[in-house]
Structure 1
Amino acid sequence: MKRASDPHYRHRFPADIISHTVWLYHTFCLSFRDVELMLAERSIEVAYETIRRWCRKFAQTFATRLRRRRPRPGDRWHLDEVFIRINGVQHYLWRAVDQEAWCSMS
C-alpha cells in the first residue's frame, strides 16, 4: 500500500515554516523580501527566491485548505428589514440573512 506523498518532502525547512511563510505572503500585502526580513528577525535564513518558489508550489493547496474551512451558507434565508432615520430622513433598510446568522440574532 502506497503512502500519500508529502508535498514538503526533500525540502530543507520543516513543513510548518514553509506553511507559515506562504500564509504570511498570501494573507498580508507583503513582498517576498518583506517576508524574508520577517523570517530573518526570527533567525530563519531564507532567500526571497526560495519564498517565491514555495508560494508558487504550495499556494494552490493553501487556498484549497482555506476554502474547505470557510463556513458554507445555510439553505434557508430570512429577510431582515427595518426603517431607520438618518439626519431626519427615513430610510428603508433590508438584508438577506442565512439561517446561522438568523439564529444568533434571535
Structure 2
Amino acid sequence: MNFSGFQYPKDVILQTVRYYVSYKLSYRDIEEIFTERGIKADHSTYNRWVIRFAPQIEMKARQKKRAVSGSW
C-alpha cells in the first residue's frame, strides 16, 4: 500500500480503517475519537480512506490466511 501524498501518518489511516471495519463505528464517531486525541480531520476524509484502503487490506489478509481443511 502506498501512503505517499497523504497529509496524515500511515498509522492514523490504518487505525481509522480498523475502527470502521472491526467495530462498525460511524465516520462521525471516528472523527470524535480522533478529535479527542488531537487529530483533526473531517468524517468525509475517513470515508475516502476506508473506500481506498479497506479492499487492499482485505486482499493482503486473504493472501496471508492459511488454508482450512476441507474435511470435518
TM-score in terms of structure 2 length: 0.84
Structure 2 unaligned segments of length 5 or more: list them. none
**Aligned partner (choices 41, 44, 47) of residue 46 of structure 1:** 41
Q: 1:39, CA displacement in angstroms?
A: 1.0
Greater relative contact order: 1 or 2 (C-alpha under 8 angstroms, separation 6 or more)? 2
Q: Where do residues 6-45 of structure 1 align in structure 2 (5 Å cutoff)?
A: 7-45=2-40
Query: Secondary structure of the residue that 2:67 maps to in structure 1?
Result: coil
Structure with the bigger percentage of helix: 2
Q: How far has the Cα of 1:72 moved from its partner?
A: 1.9
Q: Following superposition, which runs of at least 4 residues in structure 1 exceed 4 angstroms of deviation?
A: none
Is 1:69 the counterpart of 2:70 in the alignment?
no
**Other structure's SS at 2:41 match:** coil
Deviation of residue 69 (structure 1)? 3.5
Deviation of 1:66 after TM superposition, in Å, equals: 2.2
